[in-house]
């Protein structure tokens, strides 16, 4: 009994150490960010580097406040956010579906796999003129670009997850008379959940890259449009403000995926 009590106390001490370490990591992250912003503001304020070139945190905050005051901030954020979320959802669903098809049929996989690899290596921005001709200059072209950037990544990640299922477990289920659909639903899909979460994390970044890339090519609104416009008229404060907002939105979307991971792991 004493031994069990000693173990519990040691385990509690271990957990306390882990929590303390996690808090210290969070404090260090926040401290590093504050220090970097402070150095940036100091360098710009003392004009060690021309603020016109590097801007400054205070000028970025002022620019964001101006955009919010005239009502354009949330319009541009909403435009980019809608395009990114739509492209992300389509890429994830289509990529997972195609990966399932490739897992289901080895013949189809052997035929299509080389083409998927080639499409993944193709510079997507080179298709910009073709996308404009196909979809015009509206949001549909940007959503398609977002899907194009993310869908191949989703396919390859999920296919790898499906194919990595323990072969011995598959043979065991087959020996018990399980159908391929039962193997898929009872073994392959549950075992691929970690890979699915990893794919979501990757596709978050790819979705933002695709939407901003699309807005670079053709857009009338959005954060990518603000970045391009700010560069054209040499308003670096506007460029940096849009970039900071983009980073915050991408971090928030990644945090939602991390929360979904914790929920799925608990289940």
pLDDT along the chain (267 residues), means of 10: 54 76 87 90 84 84 89 89 93 93 88 85 79 81 89 90 86 84 87 89 90 84 87 86 91 89 72
**One CATH from 2.40.30.10, 1.10.443.10, 3.40.50.2300, 1.10.3720.10 for 55-266:** 1.10.3720.10
Q: Give pLDDT, residue 7.
A: 52
Structure tokens at 238: 């506007």
**pLDDT for residue 267:** 55
């Amino acid at each position: 009994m004493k031994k069990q009590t000693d173990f519990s106390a040691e385990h509690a001490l271990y957990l306390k150490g882990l929590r303390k370490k996690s808090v210290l990591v969070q404090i260090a992250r926040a401290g590093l960010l504050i220090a970097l912003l402070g150095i940036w503001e100091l360098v710009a304020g003392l004009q060690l580097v021309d603020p016109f070139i590097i801007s400054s945190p205070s000028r970025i905050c002022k620019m964001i406040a101006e955009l919010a005051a005239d009502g354009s901030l949330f319009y541009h954020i909403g435009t980019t956010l809608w395009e990114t979320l739509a492209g992300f959802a389509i890429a994830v669903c289509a990529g997972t579906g195609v990966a399932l098809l490739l897992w289901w049929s080895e013949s189809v996989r052997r035929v299509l796999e080389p083409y998927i690899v080639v499409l993944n290596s193709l510079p997507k921005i080179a298709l910009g003129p073709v996308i404009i001709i196909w979809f015009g200059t509206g949001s549909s072209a940007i959503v398609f670009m977002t899907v194009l950037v993310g869908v191949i990544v989703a396919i390859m990640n999920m296919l790898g997850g499906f194919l990595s299922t323990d072969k011995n477990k598959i043979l065991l289920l087959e020996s018990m008379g399980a159908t391929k659909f039962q193997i898929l639903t009872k073994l392959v899909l549950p075992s691929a959940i970690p890979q699915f979460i990893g794919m979501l994390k990757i596709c978050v970044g790819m979705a933002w890259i695709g939407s901003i890339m699309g807005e670079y090519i053709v857009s009338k609104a959005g954060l990518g449009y603000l970045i391009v416009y700010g560069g054209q008229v040499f308003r670096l404060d506007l460029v940096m403000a849009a970039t900071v907002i983009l980073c915050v939105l991408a971090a928030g979307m990644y945090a939602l995926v991390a929360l979904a991971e914790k929920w799925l792991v608990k289940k």
